[in-house]
Amino acid sequence: MATAAETARQGETETIRRRWLLSAPALIIIFVAAVGPLFVMLAYSFMARGDYGDVKFGQFSLDGWFSVFFQRDVFDDTVTLAEAHLSILWRSLRLSLITTVLTVILGFPTAYFIATRPRHTREIWVFLVTIPFWTNLLIRTFAMQQVIRNEGVINTLLRALGIIDQPLQIMYTDWAILFGMVYVYLPLMVLPLYASMEKLDFRLIEAGYDLYAGRLSVLWRIVIPLVKPGVIAGSILVFIPSLGAYVIPRVLGGGKNLMLGNLIEMQFGSGRNWPLGAAISITLMVLVMVALLFYVRNASKSGAQHG
């Protein structure tokens, strides 16, 4: 008996060892080319900046972190808040939040629309959302540029209709970034929303109407609470890439309307301040982690409620 248990345990350790060996290639690749470099970057954020980019290796300094939020006057050494950085941080947060809200406003009815189609046509609608989702982000950003340019579709149309004489300057404004992000991230909202609406039990809605609820209160008190997990998942999926957006503000926002991603790039390019760039990157990552934690807490809460 004892020997049988022993061999069983030995077999178990053997299996676990094999499982680690099997996962090793994936774990090593991700460590070398994703996780590891983040730790190196963390170390770099605490080093002195090099004269021509890079860092003075091994020389400790808090200047990088200091200049994320503050700046020192060149002449009298007074310390003030780094307003340029804070306004970019604020723009990133604000634009990401507005993008999330707008994608909910457009995505919620769309997902509901798809979920209420006959079963065999639903797949086609979902497929129509999936195609833009898998289309290159740069191509979609470029496509948006062609719509909102001064000679683009919107302006040509509005001028042909005689609504405006002068083209609306949309490109290189915050509006351009907003349009771009809503357009690019919309599928990320529709797909999780649809996933939760597909499971919606319409008998509950029928029961609501039987009890004399109006359309609005059915929506507000039955549909929305039931698909809340989908709304939260979609919001996280839209908010996180919006916050870290780089290509969209670079192409549509021009050089003036920076978001955090562009500010980071600047420190590694013309700014030649790698420790600052590393520190801003880590700040951005912390913001994303906070959003994710918020999601995990909410998801487990609503999961517990609905069993």
Site for another protein in 244-263 (CB under 8 A): 244, 246-247, 250-251, 260-261
Task: Name the minimum Å distance from CB 305 to another protein.
Answer: 23
CB-based contacts of 115, cutoff 8 Å, min separation 6: 122, 194, 197, 198, 200
Scanning residues 158 to 187, which ones bind another protein (CB under 8 A)? 182-183, 186-187
CA distance 82 to 71: 5
Place of tokens 């406003």: 105
Binding piece for another protein, criterion CB under 8 A, among 64-72, 83-91, 145-153, 227-235: 145-153
- Tokens at residue 80, please? 């003030």
- DSSP run (H or E) holding 39: helix 36-44
- Tokens at residue 156, please? 């040509």
Task: Name the minimum Å distance from CB 297 to another protein.
Answer: 16
**DSSP character at residue 48:** E
Nearer to another protein, 94 or 269 (CB): 269
CA distance 95 to 106: 16
CA-angle at 94, arms to 89 and 96, nearest 5°:
95
Nearer to another protein, 88 or 190 (CB): 190
Scanning residues 257 to 296, which ones bind another protein (CB under 8 A)? 260-261, 264-265, 268, 274, 277-278, 281-282, 284-285, 288-289, 292
Q: Is 50 in the site for another protein (CB under 8 A)?
A: no
Q: Is 62 in the site for another protein (CB under 8 A)?
A: no
Binder among 6, 38, 90, 302 for another protein (CB under 8 A):
38
**DSSP character at residue 168:** P
Query: Binding-site residue total for another protein (CB under 8 A)?
Result: 91
Binder among 195, 219, 226, 299 for another protein (CB under 8 A):
219
